[in-house]
Amino acid sequence: MIEQGVLERVLGLAVRGGAEFAEVFAEDKRSTSASLDDGRVEQVTSGRDRGAGIRVVRGDTTGFAHTADLTETGLCAAAEAAASAASQGGGGVRTIALTSRAGTKVNTVERYPDEVSKSTKVELLKRVDDAARSAGASIVQVSAGYGDSRRRILVANTDGVLATDEQVRGLMRISVVASGDAGMQTGFQSVGQTVGFEMFDNIDIEELARDAARQAMVKLGARPAPSGSMPVVIKQGSGGVLFHEACGHGLEADLVSKNSSVYAGKTGELVASPLVTLVDDGTMSTEWGTIGIDDEGHPSAYNVLIRDGILTDYMWDYLRARKEGRAQSGNGRRQSYMHLPMVRMTNTYVLNGTEEPDDIIRATDHGVYIAKLGGGSVNTATGDFVFGMTEAYLIEGGEITEPLREGNLIGNGPQVLRDIDLLGNDFAMGNPGTCGKDGQGVPVGDGQPTLRVKALTIGGTAT
């Protein structure tokens, strides 16, 4: 993408004024998206983003500039701008010698999506539409979206790091509306992997569409969700987003350093049920948040954050790790070359327990079974959260009974971790997600086995 000699000269220029650290992040990303609504293909678009961001650090000050001009002249201009922002004054020469660093091998790509015709991609959307509508006469609307990307990155810095990675992703999202006596109800499904177009040979997208339709049709006969505090059982894979939001962000070192996390200063303490081991894993082959290197050139890693209920570590990027004298954890991520990196999750999940999922249901006399959680929000300083329940059922006498209309799940992240009293042996990852933080979005994954929280507040409308 950029010759090594050019990188070395640009980095030398960036630190000529006395900065301690400089970095070049270059990116070349090709992407395609297509959407279908109500049986019609609305749009098919392709794009390419290519450029570099240069970061210069002096003391506690960071200068940053980005450019779409990848010539040596363009890169040097950006380096001078970033250096000027980071410091005033001049003098000194620093020679930079780069050494290639290997990333983590996470997958192989058999068929690059940018080599597949747009008509083939559109055909996937039509198959989804046909399958969802075939599920029943109550299906009145189907929307589907296809996306793929091929992202090549290069990271070079004054610590001598030179690393590259290629990240290929494919995505399908399906939304279905059913109409009946109870009004209109929706169902949703999605799938995304860090692999090539071969993912659509291995995943039954028609079955995915029928499942989205099933969700919508089931809710046509749903009763209002109850209100109050009660036991909640969360199906495998469907509740990972709760851990991502309710405790994952609180374990990011930048929020910890600002005392904006409820977990600040609690390493070595029991912060969860002894059943819980929480991991952030960028090496998890094919999953949506998987990376070979992070956006600072550090190899992706398997990081245990909570082990048997005890907080063992946080997630680190370069700046926070340097300040605290810690090793990086492969969690420095950015949306694009136009953004600075920050501490972000990759694939965050709870490891398996020992219980059979059916036994967890039978052990619950009365409560709510959540088959799919929706979006939500969390206060990282307190851990308080609210999530929507996209698909939920009543538990009565140890059995799953009536479907419930959408309501809210209300609680506190640290309290939920402590209140997990049954943990299944059926681990699964959930739907692909985009995590937003400080105006940036990056792909993430999450998952968990079936589990029970002994008390959570359900915000329903039943009287």
The tens-digit pLDDT sequence of the chain (463 residues) is: 899 999 999 999 999 988 999 999 999 999 999 999 989 998 899 999 999 999 999 988 999 999 999 999 999 999 999 999 887 544 444 566 778 888 888 888 999 999 999 999 999 999 999 999 999 999 999 999 999 999 999 999 999 999 999 999 999 999 999 999 878 999 999 999 999 999 999 999 999 999 999 999 999 999 999 999 999 999 999 988 888 888 899 999 999 999 999 999 999 999 999 999 999 999 999 999 999 999 999 999 999 999 999 999 999 999 999 999 999 999 999 999 999 999 999 999 999 999 999 999 999 999 999 999 988 888 888 889 999 999 999 999 999 999 998 889 999 999 999 999 999 999 999 999 999 999 999 999 999 999 999 999 999 776 5
Indicate if 359 and 392 belong to the same structural domain. Answer: yes
Indicate if 450 and 336 belong to the same structural domain. Answer: yes
Given 203, 220, 237, the domain boundary residue is 220
Indicate if 43 and 105 belong to the same structural domain. Answer: yes
429 to each of 203, 234, 415, 433, how far by Cα in Å? 15, 13, 23, 11
Judged by phi (left if over 0) then psi (alpha if -120 to 50, else beta), residue 243 lies in: alpha
How many domains is the chain partitioned into structurally?
A: 2
Question: Cα–Cα distance between 267 and 251 in angstroms, integer?
Answer: 10
Tokens of 336: 């694009």
Q: Kindly report the backbone phi and psi dihedral angles of residue 454, in degrees, each rounded to the nearest multiple of 5, phi listed first.
A: -65, -20
Question: Cα–Cα distance between 463 and 461 in angstroms, integer?
Answer: 6
pLDDT at position 99 is 80
- Whole-model pTM over 0.85: yes
Indicate if 86 and 113 belong to the same structural domain. Answer: yes
Tokens of 402: 């009536």
pLDDT at position 92 is 45
Indicate if 281 and 186 belong to the same structural domain. Answer: no
Assign residue 10 the CATH number of its domain. 3.30.2290.10
Closest CA to 64 of 292, 259, 342: 342
Tell me which residue range forms the domain holding 386: 227-459
Given 199, 220, 241, the domain boundary residue is 220
Indicate if 215 and 257 belong to the same structural domain. Answer: no
pLDDT at position 375 is 81
Tokens of 27: 């990116």
Indicate if 345 and 289 belong to the same structural domain. Answer: yes
Indicate if 212 and 303 belong to the same structural domain. Answer: no
Cα four-point dihedral sign 7, 10, 14, 20: positive
Indicate if 195 and 277 belong to the same structural domain. Answer: no
Given 220, 236, 268, the domain boundary residue is 220
431 to each of 190, 191, 213, 237, 444, how far by Cα in Å? 6, 6, 16, 8, 9
The one-letter amino acid code at 358 reads: D
DSSP string, 281-341: ETT-TT-TT--SB-TTSPBP-EEEEEETTEE---B--HHHHHHHT----S-EE-SSTTS--
Indicate if 100 and 118 belong to the same structural domain. Answer: yes
Indicate if 194 and 266 belong to the same structural domain. Answer: no
Indicate if 161 and 68 belong to the same structural domain. Answer: yes
pLDDT at position 463 is 57
**395 touches 366 (CB < 8 A):** yes
